[in-house]
């Protein structure tokens, strides 16, 4: 049937075939990725119309407001990107939703650079379509955080490594050093990608030629040089980012086995739809897999070793150190397996199948925008989010209004519940600074007297016991405080939704007090508060 269709395609297939003809002409892949970014950005705009941005995205923006070579919770790349994006685009939901999906689209561009090393024509499209049917490039990507930022960096670094290993050229070696350093300042989990490059090079039959050339050593020196500002920051600030990462190493042998099981099951679930579609594409030809694997090209074999390393090395580390191992930490590496599966086939794949997968991906995207997104928006408007995203805009505006009525001044500093504080910093017209230093983000320290003298506000949801108790401690220390309880209501397209109560604490500035120089001056650690 596939062969007959390719010889005499149905009329509705002909536009798709014309599009596939444009792959090597250079316009078909950009068109596909542009449509992907546009339609899934539209999905996010509809699905979250009644709710604010995800707290992770707001945190990334908050980090990036002050440039640094490191932050006390995460490496700096996500903050740099958010800051750079919002220096060009406005501070709005659609803007950061577009940023998240543009990052996913850029990731697919770099995946295509890897795939085109091994295949041409519509097979390149098939790799991208299979990835578009995983949750990594839509739902995972919309939470723009230290995990999502690796979606684009990992395939870029992998492409540079493949080229450096093949050519031994100094420029490609420099590119490997730069991109692996970039991955490391995205998230330290990228050490598994760097280690997988080393493992793949050692396992490959051409290892002698690579390691006796200057290429790997140039990459090493350049990578350390590019990473050196962040390493200096770690050395001079107590390496709190590394300490935060190591907080995930608190398990035991039994819990580690559970983490590994869930890790592997989660990755298989993420690829399940694509795997089922591939079974339909390959059909009886699946039995050729052993022969195809045996005849794998040197470049694909190198990529295979990298893929194995990105799975095996985290698993071994988790078992040895008792670390957490959520599968979402590894979603950025799924492209390796899609490239291997599609590009490793030595038989021709009829364009009939590529058109079918295209229609499937388009149908899923359209159903998501036209059906799932409105249903999700209405449901969340009536039932809310656990983190309270429905109320971010209303809470920010209410606090700003109360503060201005009380003081007649712009709101300069805010804290309290982190999600609400990040949201107030973003959505308030005053854009106050998040007042708690990130090194003390989870200690609930009390503000210094100088901080209270400058003026400060905090907000919590009613029922958040830890946050409300903290407000009581602040009230006892501050003396003159104004406490308000406000009711906020979600709304969607003019339709009222769920309500929730806020507790707002405001400390008006004392006359003559200077504005805070930075968020790092605003809070003390709990041990300092005790003093």
**pLDDT per position as a tens digit, 321-375:** 888 889 999 999 999 999 999 999 988 898 999 999 999 999 999 999 999 999 9
Beta-carbon contacts of 192 under 8 Å, excluding residues fewer than 6 positions away, are 309, 310, 313, 314, 317
Classify the C-alpha dihedral 416-72-526-247 as positive or negative: positive
Percent of the chain with pLDDT over 90: 67
Q: Which of 80-89, 305-314, 444-453, 517-526 has the lowest mean pLDDT?
A: 517-526
**93-132 as b/e: b if 16+ CB within 10 A:** beebbbbbbbbbbbbbebbbbbbbbbbebbbbbbbbbbbb
Q: Comparing C-alpha atoms, which of 398, 369, 382 is closest to residue 492?
A: 382
CA distance 531 to 526: 9
Q: Are 107 and 63 in contact (CB under 8 A)?
A: no
Q: Comparing C-alpha atoms, which of 97, 6, 69 is closest to residue 356?
A: 6
Average pLDDT over residues 435-461: 74
Percent of the chain with pLDDT over 70: 92
CA distance 76 to 68: 7
Phi-psi region of 177 (alpha: psi -120 to 50; beta: other; left: phi over 0): alpha
Question: Does the pLDDT value for residue 164 go beyond 70?
Answer: yes
Q: Look at residue 166 in the predicted model and tell me its pLDDT.
A: 95
More confident residue, 398 or 448: 398
DSSP letter at 482? Answer: E
Average pLDDT over residues 9-35: 92
CA distance 500 to 382: 12
pLDDT, tens only, 45-91: 999 998 899 999 999 999 999 898 988 878 999 999 999 999 999 99
Beta-bridged to residue 505, according to DSSP, are 458, 483
Question: Does the pLDDT value for residue 97 go beyond 50?
Answer: yes
Confidence of residue 435 (pLDDT cuts 50, 70, 90): confident
Q: Look at residue 519 in the predicted model and tell me its pLDDT.
A: 43
């Amino acid at each position: 049937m596939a062969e007959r269709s390719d010889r005499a395609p149905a009329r509705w297939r002909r536009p798709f075939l014309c599009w596939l003809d444009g792959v090597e002409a250079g316009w078909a892949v950009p068109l596909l990725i542009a449509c992907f970014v546009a339609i899934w950005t539209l999905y996010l705009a509809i699905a979250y119309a009644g709710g604010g941005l995800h707290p992770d995205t707001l945190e990334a923006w908050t980090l990036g407001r002050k440039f640094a070579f490191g932050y006390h919770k995460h490496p700096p790349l996500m903050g740099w990107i958010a800051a750079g994006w919002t220096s060009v685009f406005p501070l709005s939901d659609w803007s950061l939703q577009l940023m998240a999906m543009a990052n996913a689209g850029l990731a697919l561009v770099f995946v295509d650079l890897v795939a085109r090393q091994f295949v041409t024509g519509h097979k390149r499209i098939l790799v991208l379509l299979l990835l578009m049917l995983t949750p990594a490039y839509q739902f995972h990507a919309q939470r723009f955080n230290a995990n999502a930022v690796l979606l684009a960096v990992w395939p870029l670094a992998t492409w540079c490594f493949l080229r450096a290993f093949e050519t031994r050229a100094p420029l490609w070696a420099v590119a490997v050093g730069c991109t692996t350093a970039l991955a490391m300042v995205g998230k330290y989990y990228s050490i598994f990608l760097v280690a997988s490059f080393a493992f793949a090079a050692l396992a490959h039959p051409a290892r002698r030629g690579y390691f006796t050339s200057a290429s790997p050593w140039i990459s090493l020196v350049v990578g350390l040089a590019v990473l050196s500002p962040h390493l200096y920051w770690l050395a001079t600030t107590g390496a709190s980012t590394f300490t935060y990462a190591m907080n995930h190493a608190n398990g035991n042998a039994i819990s580690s086995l559970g983490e590994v099981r869930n890790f592997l099951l989660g990755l298989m679930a993420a690829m399940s739809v694509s795997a089922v579609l591939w079974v339909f594409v390959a059909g009886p030809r699946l039995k050729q897999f052993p022969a195809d694997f045996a005849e794998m090209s040197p470049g694909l074999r190198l990529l295979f070793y990298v893929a194995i390393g990105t799975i095996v090395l985290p698993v071994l580390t988790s078992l040895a150190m008792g670390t957490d191992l959520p599968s979402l930490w590894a979603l950025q590496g799924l492209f390796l397996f899609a490239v291997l599966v599609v590009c490793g086939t030595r038989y021709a794949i009829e364009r009939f199948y590529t058109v079918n997968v295209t229609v499937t991906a388009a149908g899923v995207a359209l159903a998501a925008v036209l059906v799932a997104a409105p249903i999700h928006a209405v449901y969340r408007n009536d039932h809310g989010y656990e983190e309270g995203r429905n109320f971010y805009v209303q809470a920010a505006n209410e606090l700003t209004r109360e503060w201005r009525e009380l003081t007649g001044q712009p709101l300069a500093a805010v804290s309290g519940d982190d999600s609400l504080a990040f949201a107030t910093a973003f959505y308030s017209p005053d854009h106050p600074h998040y007042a708690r230093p990130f090194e003390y983000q989870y200690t609930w320290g009390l503000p210094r007297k100088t901080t209270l003298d400058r003026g400060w506000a905090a907000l919590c949801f009613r029922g958040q016991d830890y946050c409300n108790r903290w407000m009581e401690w602040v009230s006892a220390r501050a003396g003159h405080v104004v406490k308000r309880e406000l009711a906020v209501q979600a709304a969607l397209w003019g339709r009222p939704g769920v309500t929730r109560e806020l507790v707002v604490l405001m400390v008006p500035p004392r006359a003559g007090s200077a504005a805070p120089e930075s968020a790092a001056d605003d809070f003390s650690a709990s041990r300092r508060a005790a003093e």
